[in-house]
Structure 1
Amino acid sequence: MTKLAHFQKYKLRYEMAILCCYFLINNTLLATSIIMEADRKGTPLPFQVWEPFVWEYSSAIGVLVLFPLLIYSLQRIPFEWTSIKRSVLYYFLISVVFSLCHVAIMVGIRESIYFVMNSNYDFGNIGFELFYEYRKDLWSFIFFIIFINAYQFILSRLQGEANPVAQSEDDNISQSFDRLLIKKLGKEFIVKVEEVEWLEANGNYVNLHINGRIYPTRTTLSKLIEKISTKGFCRIHRSHAVNLEKIESITPLSSGDSEVKLNSGKALNLSRRYKESFKTQLG
């Protein structure tokens, strides 16, 4: 397995580990900086040594909790330059909600720790502090947007992106197609639809799993299934579909669902909701 394939397989774990490491290092530096700045004055610290770490780590935890929701919001409402006023308004509202939720989580954690430490946490004047926190959160929000888009752009270039290919200029690829054009690192190559093992919904994209590699295509799972169901693909879960020719075995589970095992060894859940349509298409 290549390094890229390994990253794709454990992508979420890698992303969470990188985020946690970033906030741990960044907020530790911020907390120690607060202590060092106060110590410069040569007077007793106006706070306990543990307090700056509580302030900074509670902020980091708040961002980490909200990060998946932030990504989901950006995927659901992508920034559109053709409707820039509306996009700016949407993103402004998202930033306000993000800041309010961040402050709520942050203050809740601080209050809890201060209570355990038999101390009192004073958030200060609510109006002023909310505005103060929003200024910082807005800058973080803009940074996250730039970072997320840059990361997705780089990742798409490394792993490639798939688009349907028409048989001829007269073909209507919006209805059905047999081949996919994969663009990767400046190169292009063709993959037959029948080589796709299974499909995975991922926001505004569908990840195509082909021979251990993952290629995203910009569409929804429902729309893609409509186009390639005649090629032997069947939806078995709200988040994924499978190529019937790639199935090795089906195992009923006590929950009423079933486990579908592919020739590659990948195990997928067959939801009860899709069982009847699956049996019909399999038959």
Structure 2
Amino acid sequence: MDIRDKQKTSWLEKFDQHKYLYSYLLIAAYLFINNTINASSVWMEHNRSGEAQIQLWEPYVWEYSSALSTLILLPFIFALFRRMPLRFAHLGRQCFIHFLITILYSAAHVGIMVMLREGIYLLDGGNYDFSPWLREFWYEYRKDAWGYVFWLIIYQIVQSLYARIKGEASIVNAHDEANTLNNDSAHSTSPNSSPDFLLVKKLDKEFLVKVDEIEWLESAGNYVNLHKHGRIYPLRGTLNQTISRLANKGFSRIHRSFAVNLAAIDNIQYQPSGDGKVTLKSGNTLNLSRRYKDELKRQFG
């Protein structure tokens, strides 16, 4: 790996450690710049005749209250996108569900926004009038629905591009790996056998990752994140599918969102509720659900 590849990998690893925080700050910066431009445009429109019809601070309150409301709601929206990734199947059902969500999203956005504006106008000794409600809500809903679609599309695009930059893993069995390295195979393995390697594609390069070195698995929408020595390799598929392929490699499910390599476990702590914590040799700690506790003990036994 050359210096540029090392620098890119180091940057990605640092970003991965706090990716949600960095992403949130980038979105906040975008909204601040965008809504500042909108506020100045509104002020200029109201001041075209040379006599201001509104006070200078008002359009900034309107725009910044909208931006702040969006920032408050976006973590919940993105969490929803992770739980409901877009699929080609049942498109009509998905569109209907997202339509209902746009109504709830707009109602929450408008509610927070109006409360912020009323509070600021009250401090100035005035009153913010959001009426008639039905007409004003329809006016805001059109923008909120389009904004919801915008964030949904951006989320899918960024997820796809980021997975491409980080590298996307695919299953390689021992026979395929031998062909890749030696272009010569003496025998084939059973299609049901657990793979020995993952083929990780990063842009124009391919790398082989040993399955035994993967520490834990994390469900992430249409992907399963494979964690190895601080690095993450997204594998397309569900957690159930991945565990069934890697079961013979010593992987066990411990939570709705996690599975662990038994060889990577350092210790397990149980709580009075029946749940617990699994601490890995790397220092990472994963939640253990009581639903999977007995199966984990059985595999150790």
Q: Counterparts of 1:4 and 1:32 in 2: how far apart (Å)?
A: 36
Question: Structure 1 residue 221: deviation in Å?
Answer: 2.5
* Matched position secondary structure for 1:29: helix
Counterparts of 1:91-170 in structure 2 under 5 Å? Answer: 91-167=98-174
Equivalent residue number for residue 4 of structure 1: 12
Match for residue 220 of structure 1 among 215, 218, 238? 238
Q: Cα 1:236–1:80, aligned 2, differ >3 Å: closer, same or farther?
A: closer
Match for residue 184 of structure 1 among 202, 205, 209? 202
**Mean alpha-carbon deviation: is it higher for 153-162 or for 211-220?**
211-220
* Matched position secondary structure for 2:255: coil
Percent of aligned pairs with the same residue?
46
* Matched position secondary structure for 2:34: helix
Equivalent residue number for residue 64 of structure 1: 71
Amino acid at match of 1:228: L
Q: Cα 1:78–1:202, aligned 2, differ >3 Å: closer, same or farther?
A: closer
Q: Counterparts of 2:288 and 2:256 in 1: how far apart (Å)?
A: 10
Counterpart check, 1:19 vs 2:37: no
Amino acid at match of 2:69: G
- Kept in 2: contact 1:72–1:203 (CA 8 A): no
Q: Counterparts of 2:26 and 2:73 in 1: how far apart (Å)?
A: 16
Counterpart check, 1:42 vs 2:50: yes
TM-score normalised per structure 2: 0.78
Q: Cα 1:82–1:223, aligned 2, differ >3 Å: closer, same or farther?
A: closer
Question: Structure 1 residue 121: deviation in Å?
Answer: 1.4
**Mean alpha-carbon deviation: is it higher for 117-126 or for 151-160?**
117-126
Q: Cα 1:75–1:238, aligned 2, differ >3 Å: closer, same or farther?
A: closer
- Kept in 2: contact 1:163–1:182 (CA 8 A): yes
Match for residue 207 of structure 1 among 225, 234, 256? 225
**Mean alpha-carbon deviation: is it higher for 252-261 or for 5-14?**
252-261
Count matched residues.
281
Match for residue 255 of structure 2 among 205, 214, 237? 237
* Matched position secondary structure for 2:286: strand
**Mean alpha-carbon deviation: is it higher for 248-257 or for 103-112?**
248-257
* Matched position secondary structure for 2:103: helix
Q: Which runs of 5+ in 2 are unaligned?
A: 1-8, 176-187
- Kept in 1: contact 2:85–2:221 (CA 8 A): no
Q: Counterparts of 2:210 and 2:292 in 1: how far apart (Å)?
A: 26
Q: Cα 1:186–1:93, aligned 2, differ >3 Å: closer, same or farther?
A: farther
